[in-house]
Amino acid sequence: MQRFIARLPSTKTCAAGFHSAASRAAISRFNMPAMSPTMTEGTIHQWKVKEGESFSAGDILLELETDKAQIDVDAPEDGILAKIILKDGEKAAVNQPIALLAEEGDDISNVEMPAEESSSAPEQPKAAEEPKPAAAAAPPTPSTPMDHHELDTSKLKKPLSPAVISLVLKHHIKDLGAIKASGPGGRILKGDVLAHLGLIPYKPAPPFRTSIAPPREEIVFAKPAAKEGAAAPKEEKPLPNFISKTVAVDDLLALRRALNESNRTNVSVNDFIAKAATRALQDVVSSPKVSSSPSKGIVYNTDVSSFSDAYKGGSFKIFHLSPPTYDFITDSYETSKPYELNVSASQRVESGQAPKSQDEEMVDLIGFLGGEAPKKEAPRAIGLTTKNAQIDFSAQPKVSHQVEIKLQDSVPGKILNDQKAATFLDRVEYYVRNPSELTA
């Protein structure tokens, strides 16, 4: 049986004048408290304070036993337990007097039950009120409970609790289907029986939750406390959430230019890269959702800059590649967010010169906006042969155009252990370097 602690309000329900030899005092009733909206009666399990003993606010006066729990009842304020009306083990209805309380200094040698209202209080004139319809009287309670074999349980959706069975047998309710159930799954609650008898108004139960677990975003995992004298843990750098490759796109740009001129079309570089990503996804993931359509699994946007001669970069969402995420609350796997394939703008790179990363380009941009003068390259002399004054192209540096292909995820470190993601990026690099494979 569960135990609870109830704190009663400090207001007194009823007080009457009482005189002692020294001072004027007051004796107040201590009634059976209602511990819940459906409580109709309670049993005194044990008084913790004896007659004549004083107590302070917050002290436990008695243990009260209901059909659901055993509750400690606290004193609302300081006082003296003048008289115990209801002894241990006796039962009483809610709001029935169970004890008399007095204040410090009162004479409690001859304590009597105070009247319901003070005789010295002047009668207040009652305003004229409209007659109200008489409330339906509750059915009389039979003296002996009904036998449980007489219950009609054919219409029950859920089994009855012991408290409901006791109340039903006590009031001889045979037809359980006539009781309006408000519990989860059509279960009959104690409040439903009391409302059926007309003792309390009907009130539906709050919505039932299928899980007691809080939402996932509210779960906080506890961390072990640091031991005394232990060295402070080193701050770990966050793991990257991407893998990347640098790819030359000269062949792709040349093929695009040739196809657009011969077919009088205007296919963008992003269209070629999307086709390369689709073919790479088909090579890695053997899913019917991917292989059923050539464009399934890749989503990207095309704007005006995608059709210019100088490639400005692009962003692509890659579906069906990220592994599913396990949800320990529902014990199931959920589809993860798609990976994102980001392609940088093309850079003109000479042989022997490493291309700048996006971070280096951002640093150059910040310096330029701050007033820093851009670095100027030294003029390059073109040597002429003395024999026929021709340009020696073999001595000139080779120029190529490169882009950085970066496959990103929202979770740091997750993509580093994804072998499919690494294979997918390798295949994208292959198709970008060999664009003729995309037209086959």
Distances (CA, A) of 30 to 74, 94, 117: 12, 11, 15
* Mean pLDDT, rounded, for 60-84: 85
Chain centroid to Cα 271, Å, comes to 41
Query: Which CATH number fits the domain that encloses residue 31?
Result: 2.40.50.100
Residue 77 pLDDT class (50, 70, 90 cuts): confident
User: What value does the CA radius of gyration of the chain take, rounded to a whole number of Å?
Assistant: 43
The residue segments making up the domain with residue 93 are 27-102
Q: Is the separation of the CB atoms in 434 and 251 below 8 Å?
A: yes
pLDDT at site 185: 78
pLDDT at site 375: 65
Query: Which CATH number fits the domain that encloses residue 168?
Result: 4.10.320
Q: Which of 102, 127, 151 is the last residue of a domain?
A: 102
pLDDT at site 379: 60
- Number of structural domains, the chain? 3
273 and 404 fall within a common domain? yes
pLDDT digits (tens, 9 = 90+) for 82-103: 888 888 989 888 888 988 888 8
| Within-domain flag for 61 | yes
pLDDT at site 147: 80
pTM for this entry: 0.41
pLDDT at site 433: 92
| Within-domain flag for 108 | no
Percentage helix, strand, coil, to 5, in the chain?
25, 20, 55
| Within-domain flag for 379 | no
Q: Pick the closest to residue 300 from 284, 285, 286, 313 (CA basis).
A: 313
Per mean pLDDT, which range of 36-45, 226-235, 239-248, 334-343 is the poorest? Answer: 226-235
pLDDT at site 407: 92
256 and 404 fall within a common domain? yes
Determine the residue type at 62. Answer: L
User: Which residues on neighbouring strands pair with residue 343, listed in sequence order?
Assistant: 314, 405
| Within-domain flag for 227 | no
- To 5 degrees, how large is the angle CA 396–CA 401–CA 405? 145
187 and 89 fall within a common domain? no
pLDDT at site 59: 87
185 and 80 fall within a common domain? no
What is the residue-averaged pLDDT of the chain?
A: 76
Instruction: Assess whether pLDDT exceeds 90 at residue 426.
Output: yes
Residue 199 pLDDT class (50, 70, 90 cuts): confident
Residue 422 pLDDT class (50, 70, 90 cuts): very high
pLDDT digits (tens, 9 = 90+) for 351-391: 655 666 666 767 776 776 777 766 665 565 555 555 555 66
319 and 429 fall within a common domain? yes
Instruction: Assess whether pLDDT exceeds 90 at residue 425.
Output: yes
39 and 92 fall within a common domain? yes
| Within-domain flag for 9 | no
Residue 431 pLDDT class (50, 70, 90 cuts): very high
Higher-confidence position of 152 and 266: 266
pLDDT digits (tens, 9 = 90+) for 163-195: 888 888 888 888 888 888 888 778 888 888 888
pLDDT at site 117: 46
| Within-domain flag for 207 | no
pLDDT digits (tens, 9 = 90+) for 13-29: 333 333 333 333 467 88
Q: Pick the closest to residue 275 from 298, 304, 258 (CA basis).
A: 298
Residue 149 pLDDT class (50, 70, 90 cuts): confident
| Within-domain flag for 296 | no
Per mean pLDDT, which range of 154-158, 343-347, 402-406 is the poorest? Answer: 154-158
Residue 229 and residue 100: Cα distance in Å, rounded?
Answer: 60
Residue 383 and residue 394: Cα distance in Å, rounded?
Answer: 11
Q: Pick the closest to residue 56 from 73, 34, 78, 37 (CA basis).
A: 78
* Mean pLDDT, rounded, for 395-421: 85
171 and 42 fall within a common domain? no
Q: Give me 298's structure tokens.
A: 């890749």
| Within-domain flag for 153 | no
pLDDT at site 159: 85
The helix (run of H) or strand (run of E) holding residue 280 is helix 269-284
86 and 168 fall within a common domain? no
The helix (run of H) or strand (run of E) holding residue 298 is strand 298-300
Residue 346 pLDDT class (50, 70, 90 cuts): confident
